[in-house]
């Protein structure tokens, strides 16, 4: 049946962004296509309960389809929905949250509010990562092709970042080619250039260039510094990270600052946060203010409250809520993040916050008499959600309120089911769109002890 060409009517979008159709009593998941479209598609894989297909021709276009400004939209792994009008993107993201709560969390009665849309639809990211990749005729520097971890296409223009950032990508690509610097080959783990990271805040005029390489000193380092800053004057700091591990991640084991302070600063509300090369910081600064404001409005914290901020990262949530409560303690596993959190607290003259370096589940298992004084717990975990032991120990604390900020509706729904079963009420969930044109959706909610 593979490679069979069929005519299909698309009716929906799946959780992973694939289009959905039906044929001969089976579901067909399609790469390409939007609801309301009639398409010709090639079946690429057939299973007992579903088929997979690729759209080869659109016969009838959806009224929700729009022209995408990006020339890479057909194959880039980033903006899957750039050709879908924005109101429809928000509607499908709300549906994702509803589906997760109903099917995974078994919580059909929770009110899911309309998604709060992003103020900026383009140029909203303050961080982008680009990969080097060896090819038969040289190398590429850009982003991953959709569905392929080992294919990188040369970036021409990314509409999610600034034009200055685009110029950095083009200049570095040309510099590496002219200087004959070998590019890292993931198959035999040889070569030098691995990643290029660009961080540029929305509220300050600063730009960081972070070059991640294999071990060793950077070739033509002084030439890089001088010429890059001449080409892109917006660059305020350049950092070199070395990573010789086989794992293909854009972080460094050895860091050296080549130019400037080695960090950039971003403002959220009235606070300033220093962001270093390997620090976590929300990548949509303007919408982060919307997310946190919404979360705090739902929480209704009082001056007498004591807050435990789990998975606190560089401390932004705890620092921002600190003026409205008596005490905050942040817990974070990554040592560099804890160091940055303490630095950020000092920068913003916050004296009622402290930070604990360690695993959340271990912290919750230690010093029970210390934990009992906290009546509010804030959790902003990674995509995997709460570790089972961390969730069990959190629920044993019985805090009055749990503020949950999530970047994954599926793991949120899983955790929410257990929190509600433990005696908490979840009246509503508020999704916030941090990443227009992508499949990702953030949400915030408050659980109340009953």
Q: Of 15, 265, 26, nearest to 126 (Cα)?
A: 265
Cβ partners under 8 Å of residue 368, min gap 6:
none
Q: Where are the beta strands (DSSP E) in 220-375?
A: 237-242, 254-259, 263-268, 271-276, 306-310, 327-332, 353-357
Q: How far is CA 157 from CA 69, 76, 162, in A?
A: 10, 12, 9
CA distance 436 to 117: 8
* Cα 271 off chain centre by: 22
- What tokens were used for 206? 């600063």
With contact defined as beta carbons under 8 Å apart, do 277 and 262 qualify? yes
**Calpha distance 62→60 (Å, rounded):** 7
Sign for the pseudo-dihedral over CA of 266, 271, 274, 275: negative
* DSSP class of 113: P
Distance in angstroms (rounded) separating the CA atoms of residues 204 and 279: 17
Which tokens go with 156?
Answer: 């021409």
Catalytic annotation present for 407:
yes
Question: 70, 158, 312, 407: which one is catalytic?
Answer: 407
213 phi, psi to nearest 5 deg: -130, 175
Given a contact cutoff of 8 angstroms between Cβ atoms, the answer to whether 407 and 381 are in contact is no
**Edge to edge, what strands does the sheet with 26-31 contain?**
5-9, 38-46, 50-60, 26-31, 19-23, 12-13
Q: Following CA atoms 289, 294, 297, 298 in sequence, which dihedral angle do they give, to the nearest 10 degrees? A: -150
- Residues 248/184, Cβ–Cβ less than 8 Å: no
Kindly give the residue spans of alpha helices, DSSP state H, lying in 100-252: 163-178, 221-231
Tell me the catalytic residues: 407
């Amino acid at each position: 049946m593979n490679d069979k060409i069929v005519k299909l009517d698309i009716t929906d979008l799946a959780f992973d962004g694939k289009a959905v159709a039906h044929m001969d009593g089976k579901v067909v998941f399609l790469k390409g296509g939007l609801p309301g479209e009639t398409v010709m598609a090639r079946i690429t894989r057939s299973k007992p309960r579903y088929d997979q297909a690729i759209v080869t021709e659109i016969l009838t276009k959806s009224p929700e389809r729009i022209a995408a400004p990006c020339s890479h939209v057909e194959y880039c792994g980033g903006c899957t929905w750039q050709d879908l009008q924005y109101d429809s993107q928000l509607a499908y993201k709300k549906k994702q949250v509803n589906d997760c709560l109903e099917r995974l969390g078994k919580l059909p009665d929770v009110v899911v509010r309309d998604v709060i849309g992003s103020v900026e639809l383009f140029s909203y990211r303050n961080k982008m990562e680009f990969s080097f990749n060896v090819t038969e005729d040289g190398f590429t520097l850009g982003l991953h092709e959709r569905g392929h971890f080992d294919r990188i296409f040369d970036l021409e223009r990314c509409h999610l970042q600034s034009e200055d950032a685009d110029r950095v990508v083009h200049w570095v690509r040309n510099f590496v080619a002219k200087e004959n610097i070998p590019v890292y080959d993931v198959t035999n783990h040889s070569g030098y250039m691995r990643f290029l990271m660009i961080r540029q805040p929305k509220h300050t005029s600063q730009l960081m260039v972070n070059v991640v390489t294999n071990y060793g000193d950077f070739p033509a380092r002084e030439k890089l510094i001088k010429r890059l800053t001449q080409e892109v004057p917006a660059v305020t700091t350049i950092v070199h990270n070395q990573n010789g591990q086989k794992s293909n991640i854009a972080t460094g084991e050895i860091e050296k600052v080549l130019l400037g302070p080695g960090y950039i600063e971003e403002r959220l509300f009235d606070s300033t946060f220093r962001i270093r090369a390997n620090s976590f910081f929300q990548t949509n600064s303007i919408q982060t203010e919307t997310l946190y404001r919404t979360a705090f409005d739902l929480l209704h914290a009082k001056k007498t409250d004591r807050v435990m901020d789990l998975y606190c990262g560089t401390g932004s949530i705890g620092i921002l809520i600190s003026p409205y409560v008596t005490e905050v303690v942040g817990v974070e596993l990554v040592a560099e993040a804890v160091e940055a959190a303490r630095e950020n607290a000092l920068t913003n003259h916050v004296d009622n916050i402290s930070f604990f370096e360690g695993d959340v589940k271990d912290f919750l298992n230690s010093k029970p008499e210390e934990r009992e004084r906290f009546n509010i717990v804030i959790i902003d975990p990674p995509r995997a959600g709460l570790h089972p032991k961390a969730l069990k120990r959190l629920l044993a604390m019985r805090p009055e309120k749990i503020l949950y900020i999530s970047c994954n509706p599926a793991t949120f729904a899983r955790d929410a089911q257990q929190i509600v079963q433990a005696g908490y009420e979840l009246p509503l969930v508020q999704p916030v769109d941090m990443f227009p044109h992508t499949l990702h959706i953030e949400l915030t909610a408050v659980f109340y002890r009953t």
